[in-house]
A and B are shown apart, each in its own frame.
Chain A
Amino acid sequence: MYKKSLSYPYLVWAAAFIIIPLLFIVYYGLTDRSGAFTLENLMAIATAEHSKALFLSLLLSLVSTAICLLLAYPLALILSNSKLGRSGFIIFLFILPMWMNFLLRTLAWVVLLDTNGVLDTLFKTLGLPRFKIINTPAAIVFGMVYDFLPFMILPIYNVISKIDINVINAARDLGANSFQTLYKVIFPLSLPGVISGITMVFVPSLTTFVISTLLGGGKILLIGNVIEQEFMKGTSWHVGSGLSLVLMLFIIISMVLSSKYDNGEGNVL
């Protein structure tokens, strides 16, 4: 019914600003300064400093993804069961914080978590054990969970709230108790949302350089920090692109995994 030409402006835009820029990374990643083909930029990941950063990134992003899942799943269940879920309340709840600048929001945790900060003082007055978390990898995980938790909650909530209530009733009717209904019926049916949530948290956690800069005190280098420095400190765009290609490998793996399960249900929106 509609003319095909409607898609042309978008396709031109996508080619110019999505596809071609990515090809630039591929080009820079696979060439040296003289423009000759090389795999050296990819191999740069093997140096002690880089592989340590990659390993730490993988570790921290896996941990924060797992924590997000553990926190988000019960919440999505609760929201899908309650009246709150039906109104725009959830969107309201998770979009609103974005109007407080992302950097400031994350930085506020420094005030809260710092030695002699708000929480530390609170723990001290309550006589609870004190902790030193700021400028450690734990603080970075904390920031990742804080920043990306909504991206885990929304897709899971979307899928769960669309499960036909009678399918759940049927499970109960056939003798399953609440727990059996949860792990035999609701959880398998919510998998598309879970997978999509996992990618939505894992990818930004893996590639962040901001959270580690803000909460890691500048001493903890993630792979994102390494790449950012290659570009902004002017070390080598070629090495930076090479490392980005390695990083994209992980992103593509997680995207392929998610598209396998994706039937449009698990979208964030």
Chain B
Amino acid sequence: MIKKWVQRFYLFLIILFLYAPIGTLIVLSFNNSRTSVKWGGFSLKWYQQLFESKTILAALGNTLLLALLSAIFATILGTLAAIAIYHMKKRRQSICMSIVNIPMLNAEIVTGIAFMLLFISVGNLLSIFGIHFEMGFGTVLIGHITFNLPYVVLSVMPKLKQLNLSMYEAALDLGAGEGQAFFRIVLPDIMPGVLSGFLLSFTMSLDDFVITHFVKGLGADTLSTLIYSELRKGIKPEMYALSTIMFLAVFVVLLLVNLSPQKHIKEEQHR
């Protein structure tokens, strides 16, 4: 009993550690005072001003669009890659998996400057032919797709390993074409992996700063880079308000998904 209590308490401490800053930000978003240190009374004014700030809303638009596009592209590319890699011979497979892992294991700063060098060199090369190319939304998108890929591949791979190959063969045997067999049999079966790859990509893209920092060029600010550029002047409290809205929205959605009765039935059946 005591052991259980100690375990609970430890878990609670870790959760407190992880969520204390988030709680702080939520509190600050309602703080009437501009300085983060003093409590100036409850206020919703940052929420009001948030919707009047064009810079923040533009950055929010960029961030969400980037997250959505990069997650979609990475999911398609990564799922195909996972299927192909899964069916490779052992040696080729392990080589490919090492490549897949590079953007995840490599330092973000190294990935970031590598992209920067690439894009600037390509820009220089193209300018010889009179084509104007500079870093912006497109290069950030490429960067995000690239670092999202490993998360998709690694989410889909385990589902492929669980997939019963005879199901695919049975579909062919019953007259389905390869495409039909894939979309009707294989894809539904690995869907949980594909979906979690997509959600993970979306989240990672949303939360990224370092790579965006190096490849955004002059335009295309995301929320992260906007916050970074505001560091010296002090963070606008509107940012706290926006983050609070985003966090609570996702919190509610995840809570609903996790508490939905359907999932419970599924888990019961698994036991």
Do A and B touch directly, given a CB cutoff of 8 Å in the complex? yes
Give the interface of A toward B (CB within 8 A): 1-2, 4, 6-7, 9-11, 13-14, 17-22, 24-25, 28, 71, 74-75, 78-79, 81-82, 84, 86-89, 92-112, 114, 116-118, 146, 149-150, 199-200, 203-204, 206-210, 213-214, 224, 227-228, 231-232, 237, 240-241, 244, 247-248, 251, 255, 258-259, 267-269
Contact of A207 with B115 in the complex, beta carbons under 8 Å: no
Contact of A207 with B22 in the complex, beta carbons under 8 Å: no
Q: Within the assembled complex, what's the spacing in Å between the Cα atoms of A6 and B151?
A: 18
**Chain A residues, CB < 8 A from B7:** 78, 81-82
Interface of B is mostly: helix
Q: Within the assembled complex, what's the spacing in Å between the Cα atoms of A210 and B213?
A: 11
Contact of B113 with A227 in the complex, beta carbons under 8 Å: yes
Q: Within the assembled complex, what's the spacing in Å between the Cα atoms of A89 and B82?
A: 26
- Report how many A-B pairs have Cβ atoms within 8 Å: 223
Asked whether any CB of chain A lies closer than 8 Å to the CB of B198, the reply is: no
**Chain B residues, CB < 8 A from A199:** 105
Contact of B115 with A21 in the complex, beta carbons under 8 Å: yes
A9-B80, A75-B11, A108-B22 provided; 16 other pairs, C-beta below 8 A? A2-B83, A2-B84, A14-B100, A21-B117, A25-B117, A79-B11, A87-B258, A92-B254, A103-B209, A105-B21, A118-B24, A149-B18, A204-B108, A210-B209, A255-B105, A269-B196
Give 1 or 0 for each of B147-161: 1 = CB within 8 Å of chain A CB: 001010011001000
Q: Nearest chain A CB to B167's CB is how many angstroms away?
A: 11
**Chain B residues, CB < 8 A from A116:** 37
Asked whether any CB of chain A lies closer than 8 Å to the CB of B44, the reply is: no
Interface of A is mostly: helix
**Chain B residues, CB < 8 A from A84:** 11
Asked whether any CB of chain A lies closer than 8 Å to the CB of B28, the reply is: yes
Give the interface of B toward A (CB within 8 A): 7, 10-11, 14-15, 17-22, 24-25, 28, 36-37, 77-78, 80-81, 83-85, 87-88, 96, 98-100, 102-103, 105-111, 113-118, 121, 142-143, 145-146, 149, 151, 154-155, 158, 165, 168-169, 178, 196, 200, 203-204, 206-210, 213-214, 223-224, 227-228, 231, 235, 239-240, 243, 246-247, 250-251, 254, 258, 267
Q: Within the assembled complex, what's the spacing in Å between the Cα atoms of A178 and B187?
A: 44
**Chain B residues, CB < 8 A from A146:** 17-18, 21
Knowing A10-B78, A74-B10, the reply to whether A104 touches B243 (Cβ < 8 A) is yes
